[in-house]
Amino acid sequence: MSTNQELQIAVVIGSTRTGRFGPVVADWLLGHLDARDDMVADVVDLAVTPLPTVMPGFGGELPAEEIELLAAVTPRLAAADAFLFVTPEYNHSFPASLKNAIDWHNQQWHGKPIGFVSYGGLSGGLRAVEQLRVVMAELNTVTIRNTVSFHGAAQAFDADGKPRDPAADAAAKTMLDQLVWWAQALRDARQARPFTA
Ligand SMILES: Cc1cc2nc3c(=O)[nH]c(=O)nc-3n(C[C@H](O)[C@H](O)[C@H](O)COP(=O)(O)O)c2cc1C
Where residue 197 falls among pLDDT bands split at 50, 70, 90?
confident
Residue 152's closest CA among 108, 99, 100, 89? Answer: 89
64 alpha-carbon distance from chain centroid: 27
Q: Is the CB of 118 under 6 A from ligand 1?
A: no
* Ligand 1 atom at minimal distance to the Cα of residue 123: 11
Closest residue by CA, ligand 1 atom 30: 90
| Ligand 1 center from residue 129 Cα (angstroms) | 13
Where residue 79 falls among pLDDT bands split at 50, 70, 90?
very high
| Ligand 1 center from residue 88 Cα (angstroms) | 6
Closest residue by CA, ligand 1 atom 10: 121
pTM score:
0.97
Whether residue 2 has pLDDT greater than 60: no
Q: Is the CB of 124 under 6 A from ligand 1?
A: no
Task: Report the pLDDT value the prediction gives residue 152, as an integer from 0 to 100.
Answer: 97
Please state the rounded mean pLDDT for residues 29-35.
98
Where residue 160 falls among pLDDT bands split at 50, 70, 90?
very high
CA atoms within 13 A of residue 14's CA, in its CB half-sphere: 25
* Ligand 1 atom at minimal distance to the Cα of residue 89: 17
Closest residue by CA, ligand 1 atom 18: 120
CB burial string 97-123: b at 16+ within 10 A, e below:
bbebbbebbeebbbbbbbbbbbbbeeb
pLDDT in tens, 90-102: 999 999 999 999 9
Task: Report the pLDDT value the prediction gives residue 44, as an integer from 0 to 100.
Answer: 98
End-to-end CA distance of the chain: 22
Q: Is the CB of 151 under 6 A from ligand 1?
A: no
